C-alpha cells in the first residue's frame, strides 16, 4: 500500500467563552471554532509497530506525542493487530491555541481507520477523539462548529451563519513563545468568578450574532482567555491594538494563545498583507509566524 497523506488543519476560536469550572476539574465553554485551510500533513504507511517522525525537532516523538496516543487508543478500540509509521510535516506550532496536536491525533485516527479497513463509524471515531482531548472531535468535521461542554459537544453552525465565516481571509500570527493551556485555565480559576462569562450571557451573545443575518465575523470575536494572557504577555495586546489602529482590522487571540489572528477584508491586496506581516515581525521579532490563509 502506498503511503497515505492526511491534511491536519489548524483551527481558530472566533468566539470562546469559558463559563464555569466543573466538579471534575474541567471547564465548560461555549465556542465557535473553524478549521483553517492551513495546517500540518501526516503521512501514514503500514509497519510492524507504531512510530512517529517529525520535521520539527521541538515536537517530541516519544509516547507523549498525540499521534502515538491516538494509535494506542485506536488499537484498544478495534483490536487491530497492525502498525504504522507516521511522518509529520509540522507547520502549526505548539503552545499556540491553534489545536495542532489535537488535529494531528484526529488525522492519525482517520488514517488508521482507512488502513484497517474502516472498522469504526463516525460516532465511534468521535468517541475516541473525545478521549484524546477536549477539542479533538472538532477536527472530524468540516466548517465552523459550535462547541459546548468541555469542547466535545459539537453542532454545525446554521448554514446562513456559516456562510459569513467560510472562506474569510485571515492572517494568523504567533510570537516565539507559547502559552500552556493548563496555566491559562489555572489563571481563570484563580480569578473566578469574575474571569468567567456566565453561560446565559455567552449563549445570549452567540444567539444575537446568529440571528442578525447582517452581522459579519468581526462582530463575533470574543475570548475569555485574553485578559489573563494579556496581563502576563503585554506584547500581545500592544500589537493587536497597533494592527487595529493602523490597518483597520478586527483582531483577537485564538484559544488560550499565544497565536492571534486578524480578519482581512477582501479588498486588502498582497502589498497590504506584506505590510502587516512586516509590522508583526518588527514588533515580535523576525522569527514570528505570520501566515495568510482562509477559514475552511
Q: According to the 3-state scheme, what is the secondary structure of the chain? A: CCCEEEEEEEEEEEEEEEEEECCCCCEEEEEEEEEEEEEEEEEEEEECCEEEEECCCCCCCCCCCHHHHHHHHHHHHHCCCCEEEEEEECCCCCCCCCCHHHHHHHHHHHHHHHHCCCCCCHHHHHHHHHHHCCCHHHHHCCCCEEEECCCCEEEECCHHHHCCCCCCEEEEEECCCCCCHHHHHHHHHHCCCCCCCCHHHHHHHHHHHHHCCCCCHHHHCEECCHHHHHHHCCHHHHHHHHHHHHHCCEEEECCCCCCEEEECCCCCCHHHHHHHHHHHHHHHCCCCEEEEEEEC
Catalytic annotation, pick one of 28, 40, 69, 135: 135
The single residue listed with the C-alpha cell 446565559 is 200
Is-catalytic flag, 135? yes
Catalytic annotation, pick one of 11, 69, 90, 174: 11
Residues with active-site annotation: 11, 135
Amino acid at each position: 500500500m502506498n503511503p497515505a497523506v492526511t491534511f491536519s488543519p489548524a483551527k481558530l476560536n472566533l468566539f470562546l467563552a469559558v463559563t464555569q469550572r466543573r466538579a471534575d476539574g474541567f471547564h465548560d465553554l461555549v465556542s465557535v471554532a473553524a478549521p483553517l485551510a492551513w495546517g500540518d500533513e501526516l503521512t501514514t504507511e503500514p509497519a510492524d509497530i507504531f512510530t512517529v517522525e517529525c520535521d520539527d525537532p521541538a515536537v517530541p516523538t516519544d509516547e507523549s506525542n498525540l499521534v502515538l496516543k491516538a494509535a494506542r487508543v485506536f488499537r484498544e478500540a478495534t483490536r487491530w493487530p497492525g502498525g504504522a509509521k507516521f511522518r509529520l510535516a509540522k507547520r502549526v506550532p505548539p503552545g499556540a491555541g491553534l489545536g495542532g496536536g489535537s488535529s494531528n491525533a484526529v488525522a492519525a485516527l482517520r488514517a488508521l481507520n482507512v488502513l484497517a479497513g474502516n472498522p469504526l463509524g463516525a460516532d465511534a471515531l468521535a468517541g475516541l477523539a473525545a478521549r484524546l482531548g477536549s477539542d479533538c472531535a472538532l477536527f472530524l468535521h468540516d466548517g465552523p462548529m459550535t462547541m459546548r461542554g468541555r469542547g466535545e459537544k459539537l453542532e454545525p453552525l446554521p448554514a446562513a451563519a456559516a456562510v459569513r465565516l467560510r472562506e474569510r481571509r485571515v492572517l494568523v500570527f504567533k510570537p516565539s513563545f507559547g502559552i500552556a493551556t493548563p496555566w491559562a485555565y489555572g489563571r481563570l480559576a484563580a480569578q473566578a468568578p469574575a474571569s468567567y462569562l456566565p453561560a446565559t450571557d455567552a449563549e445570549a451573545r452567540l444567539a444575537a450574532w446568529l440571528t442578525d443575518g447582517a452581522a459579519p465575523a468581526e462582530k463575533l470575536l470574543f475570548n475569555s482567555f485574553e485578559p489573563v494572557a494579556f496581563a502576563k504577555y503585554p506584547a500581545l495586546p500592544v500589537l493587536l491594538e497597533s494592527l487595529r489602529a493602523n490597518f483597520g482590522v478586527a483582531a483577537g487571540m485564538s484559544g488560550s494563545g499565544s497565536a492571534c489572528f486578524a480578519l482581512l477584508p477582501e479588498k486588502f491586496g498582497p502589498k497590504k498583507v506584506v505590510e502587516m506581516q512586516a509590522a508583526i515581525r518588527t514588533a515580535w521579532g523576525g522569527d514570528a509566524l505570520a501566515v495568510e490563509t482562509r477559514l475552511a
